[in-house]
């Protein structure tokens, strides 16, 4: 059973708008998945959001549980994504898999080759601008 994702209200509304805007593009599948996550998410006040929750602009260290391999990424807006420097678009499957979850959560990431289990090792939200 997947843990329930948590979003603060600003991120939640922002992502809803982003999904509507990107519906016609190539990432319809991801947009739909993100939409489903938002449908079952808990919406929290900005001030009450757990600081270890993955959100827009978070730096996240994740581990591929089977391969025991860690990687560090930052979740960014689609326009800022740069895979080489570890900036992953919020609409990329990896971001959709982990956003809203928190440290120590394990989530499944669907890949063409099958499902990977990812563990969220660490979340750093110091770069997140609170509006």
Residue among 99, 94, 113 nearest 54 (CA)? 99
SS3 readout for the chain: CCCCCEEEHHHHHHHHHHHHHHCCCCCHHHHHHHHHHHHCCEEECHHHCCCCECCCCCEEEEEECCCCEEEEEEEECHHHCEHHHCEEECCCHHHHHHCCCECCCEEEEEECCEEEEEEEEEEECCCCCCC
| Protein fold of 6-124 | Chitinase A; domain 3 (3.10.50)
Domain residue spans of the chain? 6-124
- The pLDDT of residue 113 is 87
Residues 23-79 pLDDT 10s: 666 778 888 999 999 999 999 998 899 899 999 999 999 999 999 999 999 999 999
The rounded Cα 106 to chain-centroid distance in angstroms is 13
* Rg of the chain, C-alpha, whole Å: 14
> Whole-prediction pTM value?
0.89
- 84 Cβ partners below 8 Å, 6+ apart? none
Q: What is the dihedral of CA 27, 40, 43, 100, to 10 degrees?
A: -50
Query: What residues form DSSP beta bridges with 105?
Result: none
- The pLDDT of residue 111 is 82
Residues 102-130 pLDDT 10s: 999 999 988 888 999 999 999 999 877 65
């Amino acid at each position: 059973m997947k843990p329930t994702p948590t979003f603060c209200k600003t991120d939640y509304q922002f992502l809803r708008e982003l999904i509507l805007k990107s519906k016609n593009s190539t990432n319809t599948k991801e947009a739909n998945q993100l939409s489903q996550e938002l449908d079952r998410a808990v919406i929290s006040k900005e001030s009450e959001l757990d600081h270890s929750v993955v959100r827009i602009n978070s730096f996240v260290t994740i581990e591929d549980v089977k391969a025991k391999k860690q990687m560090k990424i930052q979740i960014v807006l689609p326009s800022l994504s740069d895979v080489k420097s570890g900036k992953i678009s919020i609409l990329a499957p990896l971001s959709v898999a982990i956003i809203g979850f928190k440290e120590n959560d394990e989530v499944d990431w669907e890949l063409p080759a099958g499902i990977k289990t990812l563990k969220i090792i660490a979340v750093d939200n110091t770069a997140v601008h609170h509006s």
